[in-house]
Amino acid sequence: MVAGASKLKILIVTADYYEDFGERLEKGARERFLEAGVEGERILLRRVPGCWELPLAVSRLIRRHAPDAVAALGVLIRGETDHYDHIARECCAGLMRVSLKQDVHVALGVLTCGNRAQAEERCGVRDPERNKGREAANAILRILHADSD
Ligand code: RBF
């Protein structure tokens, strides 16, 4: 439990293009916030189809819900085309722009992976502690002076 955590309002936005990985990241982040003492009903969960959709969705959801911080989660896996590079660049730059413009911390939990094995590794398939959703939550807890593990 963490002093002050119970009244935090947290938004978790997950790109579920890879549904299994998205679920793992979302779960890793949510569980970390619950462990810290954030009330379940103050953790809002939203999904978008892919990482490309994250910046605008996060921007609108910040305006609607005024969270203390946002965890933006998703998985990009390098494929045959150069889409990966375009999506990764715009997604990350877009999230930073939203964060600065709206003055809300947006933790970057967007994984850029060369293959599925890397995605499995970073989503905690083998070791639940190694989950980048959980790491994004830790970053937020530190930034908000709440805690980290
Ligand atoms: N979205 C992801 O979240 N991860 C991906 O690895 C991913 N790869 C894509 C590859 C291609 C060729 C295309 C066209 C889209 C991909 N998307 C991916 C979906 C993208 O983020 C977005 O949802 C769609 O382009 C619709 O706007």
Residue 47 vs residue 7, higher pLDDT: 47
The answer on pLDDT for 1 being more than 90 is: no
CB atoms closer than 10 angstroms to residue 1: 8
Task: Band the pLDDT of 80: cuts 50, 70, 90.
Answer: confident
Ligand 1 atom closest to residue 78's alpha carbon, by position in its atom list: 6
pLDDT digits (tens, 9 = 90+) for 93-135: 999 999 999 999 999 999 999 999 999 999 999 998 899 999 9
The pLDDT mean for the chain works out to 94
50 alpha carbon to ligand 1 midpoint, in Å?
A: 5
Instruction: Give the position, in ligand 1's atom list, of the atom nearest the Cα of 16.
Output: 3
Q: What is the pLDDT of residue 41?
A: 97
75 touches 39 (CB < 8 A):
no
Q: Which atom of ligand 1 is nearest to the CA of 81?
A: 12
Burial of residue 86 (CB within 10 Å: 0-12, 13-18, 19+) is exposed
Q: List ligand 1's pocket residues with C-beta within 6 A.
A: 15, 17, 49-53, 74-77, 79, 81, 83, 87
pLDDT at residue 146 in the model? 61
Tokens read off for 51? 């990482």
Give first-to-last CA distance, the chain, whole Å. Answer: 11
Residue 2 has pLDDT above 80, yes or no: no
Mutation to probe ligand 1, out of 51, 73, 113 (largest number of atoms < 8 A from CB): 51
6: its two tokens:
């119970």
Q: According to DSSP H, which parts of 1-149 are helical?
A: 19-36, 54-65, 83-102, 116-122, 132-143
Q: With DSSP H G I counted as helix, E B as strand and the rest as coil, what are the percentages for the chain, rounded to 5?
A: 50, 20, 25
Distance of CA 149 from the midpoint of ligand 1 (Å) = 33
Mean pLDDT of 70-74: 98
* C-alpha of residue 16 to centroid of ligand 1, in Å: 10
